Structure 1
């Protein structure tokens, strides 16, 4: 019985170590590919269609990307304790495509910097988010998931406007 318990504990410790090792060695590359794909999708839409929204009440193409930047601001503050704003919301109505791309680049670069500098102790810190207890590492996965969700909506917008979508990059 004691031997089984020891084996189980070793397996569990190894699994946690493997997950942390994955984050430290590979997640920066995963995020880099994520942000490159998002940028390609954002660049594909002609500027004249940045205000396109498929239905009343839906976010425009531009608003989708600004929402991604806002989410990065909010979620990274759960990691760092400091909320970094990437633009002034009052200025958003005057943004052009280049402005939105620059904001998206800045927000995604901020996440990449946090990933590259995250310590194991920071990643393992427990926080409460949305009524759920999780580690700060999980926030990095939420950032990617949220961006993928809105990028997918933007891909649909491209198709609706007859714009060829960039090929999928997901590895």
Structure 2
């Protein structure tokens, strides 16, 4: 009986510590690789195709990338409390490929810095998002999932335009 209780107590503390350890030791590199892959996809599309969209109601290729940035602005506010904008949305249609790449780099670097700076207490503090209670750590995963979703759409746009997509980069 003592052994069972001891194992339960160890499990109770061990798994949450391992999850924290994963985030602090592994997630910064996961974010860096994911960001670099998104940038490689963005760089692959020729500038003249940044206005491409597969149908009239779809976002353009450049619009997909700026949407990733807009989501970063929105979700990082839930983590840091700071409202950060990376570009003037009223000029989005006039931005060049190089400007969009720079905006994307800056937004992803901002998330990377927040990842490096966040304390475990702040990371695990409960917040409310869309009527759900979650932690800031959940928001970091949401940031990555959202970027992956739109990067996948960008890869389809590349293929539709006859551009080879960069090889997949995983964990």
> Under a length normalisation based on structure 2, what TM-score does the superposition of the two structures give?
0.96
How big is each residue's C-alpha offset from its partner over 1:139-167, in whole Å with a ceiling of 9 and x where there is no partner? 11110000000000000000000000000
Q: In the TM superposition, what are the counterparts of 1:73-112 in structure 2 within 5 Å? A: 73-112=73-112
Greater mean alpha carbon deviation, residues 6-15 or residues 155-164:
6-15
The runs of at least 4 consecutive aligned structure 1 residues that moved more than 2 Å come to: 1-10
Deviation at 1:132, TM superposition (A): 1.2
Alpha-carbon separation, structure 2, partners of 1:12 and 1:55: 51
**Residue in 1 aligned with 2:44?**
44
Alpha-carbon separation, structure 1, partners of 2:170 and 2:60: 24
Q: In the TM superposition, what are the counterparts of 1:121-160 in structure 2 within 5 Å? A: 121-160=121-160
Alignment: residue pair count: 171
Unpaired segments ≥5 residues, structure 1: none
Deviation at 1:3, TM superposition (A): 5.4
Alpha-carbon separation, structure 1, partners of 2:154 and 2:39: 11
**Residue in 1 aligned with 2:34?**
34
User: What secondary structure sits across from 1:16 in the alignment?
Assistant: helix
Deviation at 1:8, TM superposition (A): 2.2
User: Are 2:12 and 1:12 equivalent residues in the alignment?
Assistant: yes
> Under a length normalisation based on structure 1, what TM-score does the superposition of the two structures give?
0.96
